[in-house]
Copies of this chain bind each other. A is one copy, B any other.
Amino acid sequence: MVRRVSTPSSRLDSVFHALSDSTRRSILRDVSGREKTVSEIAVPYQMSLAAVSKHLKVLERAGLILREKRGAFQFVQVNAKPMQEAKQWLAFYEQFWDERLELLQQQLSKMSKK
């Protein structure tokens, strides 16, 4: 078995993967603003606590949540820092938005026309 260390690429993998599930994105919204316990988080979802626990593990591996055990409870809060990297990755493609692309092409054609 290959030891998987956290290259920038694999970190992006895990962040984007964590965000590719609407339940997990919803959980992130739930815990943004106010930290919540695992059971509290589970309430709105019609799935077992264990399933929610798994989703939390995926989010944790991606670094998107922080957990703090206080007594019997486990408080979960959002950690948006890894999203920054994802957002920066996306930002590279701003120049390829439809409108901008059109603009660029117009400018290029003007330039090539002399």
Contact = CB atoms under 8 A, between A and B. Distances in A.
A1 to B, nearest CB: 19
> Most B CB atoms within 10 A — which of A28, A78, A93, A95?
A93
A72 to B, nearest CB: 26
Interface residues of A, number: 32
Contacts of A17: 16-17, 20
Interface string A21-57: 1100100100010000000000000000000000000
A24 to B, nearest CB: 10
> Most B CB atoms within 10 A — which of A13, A17, A83, A98?
A83
Nearest to A17: B20
